[in-house]
Structure 1
């Protein structure tokens, strides 16, 4: 059948390719991670395979859509205003830049943090092809927002992102110093945020600080519980750790973490179904 279009789906189109009819109706999708084609309209099977052939690699399985898991159903039932999955890196900073302070120095600082979060966000989103899931701008009442929450085979990482501004950065047990600016409590903050995330997700969460575009990064030898990441080495640092989570665990934790109600104190969470 002529006229089928292949369109990317998922964050940055890395997870799925959808095959659509000219009227926009989907007739199949190709899951890159599972290397599987799910066919919704079997009478278009040959045309679907022809349209997807340039994108396929290796042994591809073909069949009807898989039966949704409990995590899939929970994600589908999530109200749009409670879903954190669509958040872009630096989502909140984009709004602050548009409606925030007009002072040159304040706006420059916001732009630096936004650029740092967007760069690290792109690095983390690229891991989705390897079975990782990422959330950005996760609100934690009383603490602000976790810049990036990364869930993958080696575990869960709570990441604070800091612009290095092409200067030397020194990470200590409690403070992070960039250039000659006043030290900031980023290591201490990400510990607290990771502890809150551990309670919310009932799974161990590792604190991390990502330093972007520093001339060099020095880490105190006593700093062992907080991971210090940089854009050029973050992927290797994270993926080299031994796996501890199965794909089903990752999906279930991602479904739980993407719900804003998960991060509310237990006494303030709405009842189920509300």
Structure 2
């Protein structure tokens, strides 16, 4: 059958590949970890295998899918243009650089921001085997996009990424500076973004600032609510954090967050999202 589209469920090379009809309806998916093709409509079996063959490595099995979870059903009903999962790190900046009309200095700053987002995004993507899921370029009406939304064992993090430019960065309660540049209101912005994400997901979201290539990061002792991440230590920092989310809750939250409709302003007829309560660590921290 012609017109079948193969779309990733997450970052390229990870997660599932979904096979959709031209109207966006999913008819099958390929699980890379188990090398199994789950076919929803048997009449498309041969066409599905043909469409997926370039992506399959080694022997594979084909059959009906397992009994779907509620998260599976919601993901299967998600139209491609409403799915945030395929977004690449810094994709919005790429579009601005390719099609925008900014001046030379602004374009230089955008390239620095893009490089930082790509580097941090690739690092966060690499955490998926440890039970983390990540989205890039999540839209927040009225605030602008969240660079990265990270969900996993230690909870949910709303991450704003900034280039350190090999200079000293200082993070305060309200402002932060990099080198001798003008102070920026990023601490205030990330708190507001995390609060908006908490309302949208009905689950606690923590604010985080990611500093890429800073020579040194000084954080004011009064800044206790914002996580500070750096590429060299972020993975170890997150791995050592207390576990607050179980894998099924992480998957359900990821399915909810990847839907662009989750981030639209609330409407009176829209049902409320399921609320997730993070488990309190035993040590009380």
TM-score class, shorter-chain normalisation, is 0.7 to 0.9
Task: Note the 1:37-76 alignment, pairs <5 A.
Answer: 37-38=35-36, 51-52=58-59, 65-76=65-76
Task: Note the 1:27-46 alignment, pairs <5 A.
Answer: 29=30, 31-32=32-33, 36-38=34-36
Shift in alpha-carbon separation, 1:40–1:205, aligned structure 2, 3 A: closer
For residue 10 of structure 1, report the CA deviation from its aligned partner: 4.6
For residue 240 of structure 1, report the CA deviation from its aligned partner: 1.1
Task: Note the 1:133-212 alignment, pairs <5 A.
Answer: 133-212=133-212
Distance in 2 separating the partners of 1:205 and 1:39: 34
Task: Note the 1:106-117 alignment, pairs <5 A.
Answer: 106-117=106-117
Shift in alpha-carbon separation, 1:64–1:38, aligned structure 2, 3 A: farther
For residue 194 of structure 1, report the CA deviation from its aligned partner: 0.4
TM-score by length of 2: 0.77
Distance in 1 separating the partners of 2:179 and 2:93: 23
For residue 126 of structure 1, report the CA deviation from its aligned partner: 0.5
Query: Is residue 167–residue 216 contact of structure 1 (8 Å, CA) maintained in 2?
Result: yes
Distance in 1 separating the partners of 2:75 and 2:95: 26
Q: Which runs of no fewer than 5 residues in structure 2 stay unpaired?
A: 1-7, 19-26, 40-56, 273-285
Distance in 2 separating the partners of 1:101 and 1:17: 36
Shift in alpha-carbon separation, 1:37–1:99, aligned structure 2, 3 A: closer
Distance in 1 separating the partners of 2:185 and 2:28: 51
More helix by share: 1
Query: Is residue 148–residue 158 contact of structure 1 (8 Å, CA) maintained in 2?
Result: yes
- 1:75-94: CA deviation from partner (whole Å, max 9, x where unpaired): 11112221111111111100
Paired residues, number: 243
Distance in 2 separating the partners of 1:194 and 1:39: 37
**Is 1:258 the equivalent of 2:265?**
no
Query: Is residue 9–residue 85 contact of structure 2 (8 Å, CA) maintained in 1?
Result: no
Aligned match of 2:49: none
Q: Tell which deviates more after alignment, 158-167 or 263-272.
A: 263-272
Shift in alpha-carbon separation, 1:195–1:10, aligned structure 2, 3 A: closer
